[in-house]
Amino acid sequence: MRNLVLVLTMIGIVTPCTVRADEDAFATRKIGSRRAATFLSAVFPGLGQLSTGRRIAGTILVVSELGALATTLTANENYKTRLDNFDRLKAEYEEMAAGNSEHDLAQQRWQELTKEADDLDNLHRIRRVFGGVALGVYVYSLVDILRSDQPASTTAITWNLRAVPGVRDAPTRLMIAGRF
């Protein structure tokens, strides 16, 4: 039987790791029902599929959700940064347009302001589209696990919570290990 291990660090990075002996586990829980698979899919898309043995579907859902979330969050941060820049350029242009500057310089600021507005529109569109994709993957994962024809409770899945010592200067991490 293969082991799937998720290492959840304090900052939320998921890293694969190997499973060690069970005597160092803080807590152990056995899961083996459709309800548990539905719960896992509600926690993060694809985990329920992985727990029922549908590894390809589960992996695709996990990767697509991570990609959509990463793109959404990146576009959102870029949008905030660019919005601050847009506000600064707008204030400069309004000051120049009031007659305190040369016409050519004011025209150049207007062109920069127009380009910045177009970039803001594109970033806003990207974050909305990928936010919708992330929501769609989440809903699909739940619907898929609910409509799955996998047996209601066949095999037990064991989840262990352990402390993993850090390497070099890295802090100690908590690890959730599941055996599928």
Looking up tokens 């991490």, which residue turns up? 173
Q: Are 61 and 49 in contact (CB under 8 A)?
A: yes
> Is 66 within the bounds of a domain?
yes
Q: Tokens representing 129?
A: 């589209």
The whole-number pLDDT of residue 88 equals: 86
Would you call 98 helix, strand, or coil by DSSP?
Answer: helix
> Is 143 within the bounds of a domain?
yes
> Is 140 within the bounds of a domain?
yes
For 18-86, the DSSP string reads: ----GGG-SEEEEE-SHHHHHHHHHHSTTHHHHHTT-HHHHHHHHHHHHHHHHHHHHHHHHHHHHHHHH
Please state, in angstroms and rounded to a whole number, the distance separating the CA atoms of residues 77 and 72: 9
> Is 179 within the bounds of a domain?
no
The whole-number pLDDT of residue 86 equals: 86
The whole-number pLDDT of residue 26 equals: 52
Please state, in angstroms and rounded to a whole number, the distance separating the CA atoms of residues 116 and 12: 33
Number of domains in the chain: 1
The whole-number pLDDT of residue 31 equals: 47
Per residue in 89-135, pLDDT tens? Answer: 888 778 777 766 666 777 777 888 888 889 899 989 999 999 999 99
Which residue segment(s) compose the domain that 133 sits in?
Answer: 58-150
> Is 2 within the bounds of a domain?
no
Q: Are 169 and 3 in contact (CB under 8 A)?
A: no
pLDDT tens across the length of the chain (180 residues): 233 333 333 223 333 444 444 455 555 555 457 788 888 889 999 988 888 888 899 999 999 999 999 999 999 999 999 888 888 888 877 877 776 666 677 777 788 888 888 989 998 999 999 999 999 999 999 999 888 765 544 455 566 667 777 777 777 777 776 665
> Is 130 within the bounds of a domain?
yes
Please state, in angstroms and rounded to a whole number, the distance separating the CA atoms of residues 50 and 90: 51
> Is 94 within the bounds of a domain?
yes
Q: Cα–Cα–Cα angle for 109, 112, 130, nearest 5°?
A: 150
> Is 108 within the bounds of a domain?
yes
For 124-159, the DSSP string reads: HHHHHHHHHHHHHHHHHHHHHHHH--S-SS-S-EEE
